[in-house]
Amino acid sequence: MNALGYLSQLLEIFLALLLAPLLSGWINQWRAWLQNKSAPSLFQPYRKLHKLFNKDLVLAEHASSLYRITPYVVFGCMALACAIIPSLSTDLPLSPAADAIALVGLFALARVFISLAAMDVGTAFGTLGARREMLIGFLAEPALLMVLFSASLLSKSTSLTTIVDTLAHRDLAIYPSLAFAGVAFTMVSLAENARIPVDNPATHLELTMIHEALILEYSGRHLALLEWASSLKLFAYSCAGLALFFPWGIADALSPLALLLALPMLILKLALGGALLALLESVSAKMRIFRVPEFLATAFLLAVIGMLVNILLGV
Amino acid sequence: MSAFITQFINLLAAILLMLAFAMLSQRRILSLIYLYTLQGATLVAATAIVGFVTHQPHLYFSAAITLVLKVLLIPMLLHRVIDRLNVRWDVETLINIPTTMLMGIVLVMFSFYLAQPISQMSATIARGTLGIALACVLLSFMMMITRSKAVPQVIGFLSMENGLFFAATAATYGMPMVVELGIALDVLVGILILGVFMFHIREQFDSLDIRHLEKLKED
Amino acid sequence: MPLDWILMLVLAWLLIGSAGVLALRRLTLVARLLFPAGGLVGLLLLVAAALALREAPASAVLPLGLPSLPFHFRLDSLAAFFLMVIGAASTGISFFAAGYFRRGEGTPPGLLCLEYHVFLASMVLVVLADDAYAFMVMWETMALSSFFLVIANHRLPEIRRAGYLYLLMAHIGAIGILLCFGVLQANTGDYTFANMRAQHLSPFWASLAFLLALFGFGAKAGIVPLHVWLPEAHPAAPSPVSALMSGIMLKTAIYGLLRVTFDLLHTPLWWWGVLLLGLGLLSALYGVVFAAVQVDMKRLLAYSSIENIGLLVAGIGLAALFAAYGMHPMAALALTAVLYHSVSHAFFKSLLFVATGSVLHATRERSLGKLGGLIRFMPWVAWMTLIGALTSAGLPPLGGFVPEWLLLQSFLFTPGLPNAFLNMLVPVAAALIALVAALAGYTMVKFFGVIFLGQPREEKLSQAHDAGFWERLGMLWLVSGCVALGLFPVPVITLLDAVTRPLVGAGLGAAVSGSQWLLIPVSLERASYGPALFLLGVAVSLALAFALVRAFYHGRLRRAPPWDCGYPWQNPRMQDTAEGFGQPIREIFSPFFRIERSLPTPFDAQPHYRVSVGDHFWHWLYLPVARLVERLARLIGLLQRGRIAIYLLYSFVTLIAVLMVVKR
């Protein structure tokens, strides 16, 4: 590892922390435009974070210390996830610490903590949200793992940097299994980031909410950290999707110029991806909660078929 | 370049398979028709590419026939049928969808298991695709079994034919022209007859649920 | 000589047990002196076995038992590894037990102490046994002593029923093992393992021996469909005993399966691997789905044990599959995952079971529906249980994640298998493993959340007290095991090298020892996992977030009641219950269950909602068999006439028949 590696690692973390709220703002803006509303400012998420950090923290009377550390744990998990997903460069010193399987484990860790925290206060909504979050999780996690495995089978590795390296810097090749994996990944990321067919990030309608029910009791800095963490999660998922399915432009090892070129490329790809996500959300309808397991089971099975196709076609 | 073409055909085969699975997991009749149209378009692309690579001009003709028939004419007919019958809404499947898909995975494995010896013998450009074509046929068959309404069953039947067509293209570079024209005509006539049939079922039972046909049995 | 030391330690356990009989009803003496002493012996066992792990196999012959049929003992690396598991987990459990047993619970404490230590000693000797005779004697001693421990509270009829079911299954399994040894000795009449190892059986006889072993050890381990005794017996036993049974005793069955498959029968056949893989995956999914819908905390853990045993068996199957095709490094990878999971399961399941013991003592409640909010009254137990639950859910960077990671890695290597059909099965199997792991997370959130979080569902829970010193000490030992196994996988895997080499002819030691902080089973490009670095990454960003928020903003805090949705008459009973938490799983996996539900009518003045979730296997397999046995027994019962003349007639006929035989 060299200085440039550490530099790109640091750059990635700071970029993720800074750009994540911007990405959320960008998606919100597009969604408003597509739905013929006047859009909030691009920087609205930053203002919201600032406001929440400034506010007093109101804690439920019998909340335990588990409840109080959870926002920090979730934030830490998401920051690490952003650090190990190659978005700018494939030369990351932190990346060997966690491969694709550990990345899924990292998301699972955050999910378990936030579900436990939601159960801690003991209100009906919290437990309801925890149950639904775990329901989504137990199907989305294996589906995500299978998506990553499809890519691992192609590159004969579970290390994220090697996977992206193989996909980005080899001769142009078409992998049919990635078509399945791509569809499955889109479905999983919609579910995992509380997006429209599964959850609606914009409402507090009690019968349908999932993510908002989890964090209903949180306020002040805790809420700010959780909001930031959820936009980091969206950022991490977007970067992972871009790295797996549109890997062009990610810098190879040891070249400062490529690193400089990778940055505008990433921002361009994220902007396009965000607009596409907003479009996808605008054209689909929220589904009933009972249909969600079916939706996710479909994603899971599609990912499995992707792996099968990979082995069967012998690519 | 040839490796790239093979990969491209593999990709199209994978898309066909995905569309077959999408049909299995789709409740809405309107979406089923769109999926069927997409399947037809994929088929057109695959046939044209195979024709281009192997320099077999008759494949261009069959691509053209497919385009006219399966991308334009039949979907249009189907749209008219569901408009007239007013059946655009969701139709529940007989078995729940994840279970159906699970069985679908088993079918995929089975068809690859079947196709394996044949693909190893064949020297055509995309050897792996025979298994996929077979899987598409079986999946469409299963879709026909798991639907209780007449229109999805017809679509299942049509997509089964798509699978057969793809198998023929991938494994033997297409059937003889006469056979192909015959099949194309058969399908067209078939859909017309089935359309009439559906109207009659509706008139008789005031519903398109083919379970009503059980009443026709003599006791 | 580590073998001598270990035999001395076994003797020490037996002496401690006998001392318990002398102090039959003196609880303080038994609890404060004998159990901690037993725990120390366990610690010494851990050290002695660790020393033996890398040494050449040692044997001993003890002239016990029948004349001319002495006990043979042998300490090789596989045995040493399982002795380490026994020593490590029993240390924590014994310390916990020192604070656990109270007055007036069925069996007197001194007798419990005897049974407990005989149980431990017999497990050690099962692992050490080197001939079928010693093995079976120790196996039966283990079954009997644990049976008496299970029915410690024998005044309750359902506990007696659970105990008998357990004893029955244990004996049916023992018959399988006995027959397996009969096949393995190949008509030589020599029942030592050395002789069995020297035999070369034909595939038919080898497969028969394997199937018998699978049946026998499967009944002990709780592989579906032989699992029915587990969810009955584990909740019935006192918590430290459940911990011993689930954490350690199930591992002796895994030990037996490994011993027979990889050691006594030299090379496994490929379809054994497929069978093990299939049964393991079935058990894992079955166990975890049932665990998710349980409302009794100990039953939940028992089903979770079935799940873990399933994962272990699936791993053994994968190892056997690789070994059959001569892919030794891959077999070593899968086997390492199995061994790693054995030790980590021993730690976290023991921890969770003893934690339920603490909760049980503090609240006298086993039903999840009547617990809640205990983190405020029992913070020690709650936080340590949280670690156990996270380990059990297989989350990084704790001990449950490493074996899962290794197992998934070995699945990813599978496409090299020469059989195309097997290659196709592998993604499906890997997907199932991932699903089971995610469902385990669901189950553990339910387990921990319903017991410790929320508001207390009953008034009396606010009087709950935290665990005492000995209980905390025992749990702390187990917790540190979970954490250490998670953070430092490299030294453990280097140790396991000595175990896998004799069994499958390869090991991971050379590959992983290259780096202390990163676990690299093959090469850095292929895969790597650095739990310490992982934890550091989360911890640093956590600490930075905390410090920066404090530095730039403020640390103000107000307490207020939670939002009540504008309905202030809520009480804690209105929280979501354990049943409600399991409801989605019950819906999604409804074909797995036999659900009987009675819903009240809207006009019912005192509505009652009842639901019972049953097991299909019980109705499809066990009840028909039980009915058949009953019918046969009734036929035999026809002989009973109650008239002396007829009994004399029986004797007379028998006499005549015997005379006829003798004449010929």
Q: Considering chain A, what is the average pLDDT of its residues?
A: 88
Spell out the residues 6+ positions from residue C457 whose beta carbon is closer than 8 angstroms to its own.
C369, C370, C371, C372, C373, C572, C573, C575
Summarize pLDDT for A183-210 with one digit per residue, the tens.
Answer: 999 999 999 998 888 888 777 776 778 8
pLDDT at A172: 64
Q: Please give the Cα distance from C382 to C360 (Å, whole number).
A: 13
pLDDT at A109 over 70: yes
Cβ-contact C528, A28 below 8 angstroms: no
pLDDT at C426: 79
Report long-range pairs for C488-493 (Cβ below 8 Å, ≥24 apart). Answer: C488/C531, C488/C532, C489/C340, C489/C402, C489/C519, C489/C529, C489/C531, C490/C515, C490/C516, C490/C517, C490/C518, C490/C519, C492/C340, C492/C343, C493/C336, C493/C340, C493/C519
Q: Please give the Cα distance from A185 to A181 (Å, whole number).
A: 6
Structure tokens belonging to residue A302: 């599609």
Q: What pLDDT band is residue C386 in, cutting at 50, 70 and 90?
A: very high
Least confident of B146-150, C16-20, C87-91: B146-150
Q: Evaluate the omega torsion of the peptide bond into residue C456 and state whether it is cis, within 30 degrees of 0.
A: no
State the Cα angle at A180 between A174 and A185, rounded to 5°: 110
By percentage, how much of chain A surpasses pLDDT 90? 53
Summarize pLDDT for C221-268 with one digit per residue, the tens.
Answer: 999 889 999 999 988 889 999 999 999 999 999 999 999 999 998 888
> A105 in contact with C at a CB cutoff of 8 Å?
yes
pLDDT at C104: 63
pLDDT at C81: 95
Phi first, then psi: give them for residue C565, nearest 5 degrees. 60, 25
C77-100 and C109-128 are packed helices; what angle lies between their axes, rounded to 10 degrees? Answer: 170
Q: What is the mean pLDDT of residues B165-169?
A: 82
**Identity of the highest mean pLDDT range in B73-82, B162-171, B198-207, C320-329:** C320-329
Spell out the residues 6+ positions from residue B105 whose beta carbon is closer than 8 angstroms to its own.
A301, A304, A305, A308, C428
Summarize pLDDT for B59-102 with one digit per residue, the tens.
Answer: 888 888 888 888 888 888 888 888 887 776 667 777 778 888 88
pLDDT at B124: 57
Q: Is C104 exposed, middle or buried (0-12, 13-18, 19+ CB in 10 A)?
A: exposed
Q: Please give the Cα distance from C31 to C238 (Å, whole number).
A: 15
Q: What pLDDT band is residue C129 in, cutting at 50, 70 and 90?
A: very high
Q: What pLDDT band is residue C407 in, cutting at 50, 70 and 90?
A: very high
pLDDT at A227: 94
Spell out the residues 6+ positions from residue C406 whose beta carbon is closer than 8 angstroms to its own.
C333, C334, C336, C337, C340, C521
Residue A217 has its nearest CB partner, among C538, C554, C563, at C563
Q: How many domains does chain B have?
A: 1
Task: Name the 3-class secondary structure at C594.
Answer: strand
B74-85 and B150-172 are packed helices; what angle lies between their axes, rounded to 10 degrees? Answer: 170
Residues of B in contact with C425 (CB under 8 A): 109
Summarize pLDDT for C260-298 with one digit per residue, the tens.
Answer: 999 998 888 999 999 999 999 999 999 999 999 999 999
Residues of C in contact with B105 (CB under 8 A): 428
Q: What is the mean pLDDT of residues C334-354?
A: 96
Q: What pLDDT band is residue B217 in, cutting at 50, 70 and 90?
A: low
pLDDT at A222: 94
DSSP letters spanning C338-398: HHHHHHHHHHHHHHHHHHHHHHHHHH---BGGG---GGGT-HHHHHHHHHHHHHHTT-TTS
pLDDT at C357 over 60: yes
Q: What pLDDT band is residue B178 in, cutting at 50, 70 and 90?
A: low
Least confident of A62-66, B139-143, C256-260, C510-514: C510-514
Q: Between C523 and B16, whose confidence is greater?
A: B16
- To the nearest 10°, the Cα dihedral for B156, B159, B165, B170? -110
Q: What is the mean pLDDT of residues B107-118?
A: 81
Residue A61 has its nearest CB partner, among C552, C561, C575, at C561
Cβ pair C421:B113 closer than 8 A: yes
Q: Chains A, C: CB contacts under 8 A, how many?
A: 249
Task: Name the 3-class secondary structure at C71.
Answer: strand
Summarize pLDDT for C419-462 with one digit per residue, the tens.
Answer: 777 888 878 899 999 999 999 999 999 999 999 998 888 888 88
pLDDT at B210 over 80: no
Summarize pLDDT for C49-72 with one digit per residue, the tens.
Answer: 999 998 889 999 888 777 778 899
pLDDT at B88: 67
Q: Evaluate the omega torsion of the peptide bond into residue A247 and state whether it is cis, within 30 degrees of 0.
A: no
Chain C: nearest CA to B107, how far in angstroms? 12
Q: Which domain holds residue B18?
A: 2-216
pLDDT at B101: 85
pLDDT at C400 over 70: yes
Interface with A, mutate which of C419, C541, C573 (most A CBs under 10 A): C541
Q: What is the mean pLDDT of residues C402-414?
A: 88
Interface with C, mutate which of B106, B109, B120 (most C CBs under 10 A): B109
- For residue B109, the chain A residue with the least C-alpha distance is A308
Cβ pair B128:A312 closer than 8 A: yes
pLDDT at C246: 94
Cβ pair C375:A66 closer than 8 A: yes
C309 closest CA partner among C351, C353, C388, C248: C248
Q: Please give the Cα distance from B140 to B160 (Å, whole number).
A: 5
What residue spans define the domains of chain C?
A: 268-547, 620-664
pLDDT at B170: 74
> C431 in contact with B at a CB cutoff of 8 Å?
no
DSSP letters spanning A94-155: TGGG--HHHHHHHHHHHHHHHHHHHHHS--HHHHHHHHHHHHHHHHHHHHHHHHHHHHHHHH
Residue A293 has its nearest CB partner, among C395, C449, C588, at C588
Q: What is the mean pLDDT of residues B187-215?
A: 71
Report long-range pairs for C609-617 (Cβ below 8 Å, ≥24 apart). Answer: C611/C579, C613/C290, C613/C293, C613/C294, C613/C586, C615/C228, C615/C290, C616/C592, C617/C224, C617/C225, C617/C227, C617/C228
Cβ pair C420:B116 closer than 8 A: yes
Q: Please give the Cα distance from C135 to B218 (Å, whole number).
A: 69
Summarize pLDDT for A289-305 with one digit per residue, the tens.
Answer: 888 888 999 999 999 98
Cβ pair C420:B109 closer than 8 A: no
pLDDT at C496 over 60: yes
Interface with C, mutate which of B103, B105, B118 (most C CBs under 10 A): B105
- For residue A78, the chain C residue with the least C-alpha distance is C538
Cβ pair C534:A307 closer than 8 A: no
pLDDT at C628: 93
pLDDT at C478 over 60: yes
pLDDT at C627: 93
Residues of B in contact with C421 (CB under 8 A): 113
The DSSP H or E segment spanning C593 is strand C593-598
Cβ-contact C302, C150 below 8 angstroms: no
ipTM summary value:
0.95
pLDDT at B54 over 60: yes
Interface with A, mutate which of B7, B42, B139 (most A CBs under 10 A): B7
> B157 in contact with C at a CB cutoff of 8 Å?
no
Chain B: nearest CA to A314, how far in angstroms? 8
Q: What is the mean pLDDT of residues B89-118?
A: 80
- For residue C515, the chain A residue with the least C-alpha distance is A96
Q: What is the mean pLDDT of residues B181-205?
A: 72
Q: Between A153 and C416, whose confidence is greater?
A: A153
A227 closest CA partner among A108, A65, A6, A50: A50
